[in-house]
Amino acid sequence: MQDLKQASLGLQPHRLDRLKASSYPRLTQKLIDVVGMYLDPPGKALVLWMDEKSQIHLILDNYATHKHKNVQRWLKRHNRFHLHFAPTSSWLN
């Protein structure tokens, strides 16, 4: 945790009621990587954060890729992903 304190990156964990210490061996590198994505995202990038309990709703164009059996099988195994499709030939697309 000493490396984390030295590389605070302007974070203020003291404002939390509790801070769970991590035993992750590369915590500082991961912290710099993740926080860096928010502070200076790559050009034209969309940065999203989701925890393991989140439901994810994706809005897609109506391309037929989602109908492939491998995609359907993956979606059944990963039921937190919910797909929504824009109408074909629509201004929404």
| Single pTM value for the model | 0.46
Alpha helix (H) ranges present in 1-93? 2-6, 27-39, 69-77
The 3-state secondary structure of 43-57, one letter per residue: CCCCCCCCCCCCCEE
Both tokens assigned to 24: 């992750």
Query: What pLDDT is attached to residue 76?
Result: 93
* pLDDT tens for the chain, residues 1 to 93: 555 555 566 767 667 666 677 788 888 888 888 888 888 888 887 777 777 777 888 877 777 778 889 989 999 998 888 888 777 665 655
Both tokens assigned to 6: 């030295």
Q: Which amino acid is at 66?
A: H
Domain residue ranges of the chain, discontinuous segments joined by +? 2-39, 50-93
Helix (H) or strand (E) holding 61: none
